[in-house]
Amino acid sequence: MVYQKIKMIHVFIIILVVSCLCLIISKMNSTEICIFCIRKEGPIFFKKYGGNFLQLPDIDCRKNPPFLVVMVTSSHNQIKARMAIRETWGKERIVQGKRIITYFLLGITNSKDDNVVTQESQKYRDIIQKDFLDVYFNLTLKTMMGIEWVHHFCPQSDFVMKTDSDMFVNVYYLTDLLIRKNRTTRFFTGFLKTNEFPIRKIFNKWYVSYYEYPWEKYPPFCSGTGYVFSSDIASEVYNVSEKVPFIKLEDVFMGLCLAELKIHLEELHSEQTFFPDGLKFSTCRFKKIVTCHFVKPKNLLIYWKALERSLDEKCPAV
Ligand SMILES: *[C@@H]1O[C@H](CO)[C@@H](O)[C@H](O)[C@H]1NC(C)=O
Ligand SMILES: *[C@@H]1O[C@H](CO)[C@@H](O)[C@H](O)[C@H]1NC(C)=O
Ligand SMILES: *[C@@H]1O[C@H](CO)[C@@H](O)[C@H](O)[C@H]1NC(C)=O
């Protein structure tokens, strides 16, 4: 009996110690854990992804150059989001005499989903695709494919926007602000992040190892949920990209390219117009924003209808 009790206590203590260790390790960051790891040599540089475009949109930018090309990073299963965007802010339209077009950026999955996307591309002619594997880790590759497309096929456009498929984009207000801003070159704007640090907690979604990014601080960058730039920057970034260390966070990578090019981020407006953390919908509020994150396809359709219905109505001044 006594012997059994002692055994129980032993088991209990072992469980306690193991739990404590697990807790400590999960709270530690990678340097602390990696004291005994062998440090590999410095960061790897970005490598341009060769190969041909599998899908290209139907446009000749030399003939009828758009004012703004919106590029949406998307993945194969986000068909609902793509359809909602096509019916709302992504529909080709002219705003204040300026043409705006929206294209989706995709890689491949090596599954039957690829055929579905090929058919979708043939139907809507708004997909830009190369044959890299469409995974989260390849997001930088996906954005750089968009940059390459602008550089090769549409340097005649005035502006380029990169955004995601869970976004509301008020292309009316964006166009208005871009016209008012009256900038044509070396202009880059969005939700500015000027004081960001790599997250070194291993179990965090945004974890970045010291191997991938050995520096303590990120360069200034704009939230990947939506940034806008003059199209000359596409060629400059494409040109400089291989001199820049690779990081899987595409918006930080863009920031590294801009730092190399000595291009400074600028605010589009004196008021906040980009909302990477989302914003509660109201028609009057959404008339004076450029982006809002976390919008489901169903809500996108509702918000957009409300916005379009109220375009000519005045809102009370705030
Ligand atoms: C990114 O795409 C390339 C090309 O298809 C592939 O070799 C690589 O494994 C992909 N990255 C990841 C993390 O899967
Ligand atoms: C736009 O900027 C150019 C110079 O960059 C200037 O000549 C022009 O007057 C400006 N237009 C407006 C409407 O401010
Ligand atoms: C590309 O970079 C080289 C120097 O690295 C420069 O001479 C050239 O003008 C750049 N081209 C463009 C299009 O920016």
Average pLDDT rounded to a whole number, residues 10-17: 73
CB of 232 within 6 A of ligand 3: the answer is no
What are the CA-CA distances from residue 227 to residues 25, 58, 179, 184, 190 (Å)?
37, 24, 16, 15, 4
Q: Report how far residue 201's alpha carbon sits from residue 261's, in angstroms, rounded to the nearest whole number.
A: 31
DSSP H helices in the chain: 2-27, 30-33, 79-87, 113-124, 139-153, 171-181, 232-240, 250-261, 283-287, 297-309
Ligand 1 centre and the CA of 107: distance in Å? 10
Q: Give the ligand at the shortest distance from the Cα of 130.
A: 1
Q: Give the ligand at the shortest distance from the Cα of 131.
A: 1
- pLDDT of residue 314 exceeding 70: yes
pLDDT tens string 83-141: 999 999 999 999 999 999 999 999 999 999 999 999 999 999 999 999 999 999 899 99
Ligand 3 centre and the CA of 287: distance in Å? 40
Q: Give the ligand at the shortest distance from the Cα of 185.
A: 2
Ligand 3 centre and the CA of 151: distance in Å? 13
The protein residue whose alpha carbon is closest to atom 6 in ligand 3 is 239
CB of 236 within 6 A of ligand 3: the answer is yes
Could you give all domains of the chain from N- to C-terminal order, each with its CATH number?
53-308 (3.90.550.50)
pLDDT tens string 209-242: 998 899 999 999 999 999 999 999 999 999 999 9
Higher confidence at residue 168 or residue 33? 168
Of 175, 149, 151, nearest to 57 by C-alpha is: 149
Ligand 1 centre and the CA of 49: distance in Å? 10
CB 92 within 8 A of CB 99: yes
- pLDDT of residue 23 exceeding 50: yes
CB 154 within 8 A of CB 65: yes
pLDDT at 206: 86
Ligand 3 centre and the CA of 233: distance in Å? 12
Atom of ligand 1 nearest to the CA of 138: 1
Ligand 3 centre and the CA of 240: distance in Å? 8
Ligand 2 centre and the CA of 174: distance in Å? 18
Average pLDDT rounded to a whole number, residues 42-62: 89
Mutate to test the pocket of ligand 1, among 48, 106, 109, 135 (most ligand atoms within 8 A of CB): 135
Give the pair of three-digit tokens for residue 301. 């359709």
pLDDT at 186: 98
CB of 260 within 6 A of ligand 3: the answer is no
Q: Helices 79-87 and 113-124 sit at what angle, rounded to 10 degrees?
A: 10
| Mean pLDDT for the chain overall | 91
- pLDDT of residue 3 exceeding 90: no
Ligand 1 pocket list (CB less than 6 A)? 132-133, 135, 137-138
pLDDT tens string 141-161: 999 999 999 999 999 999 999
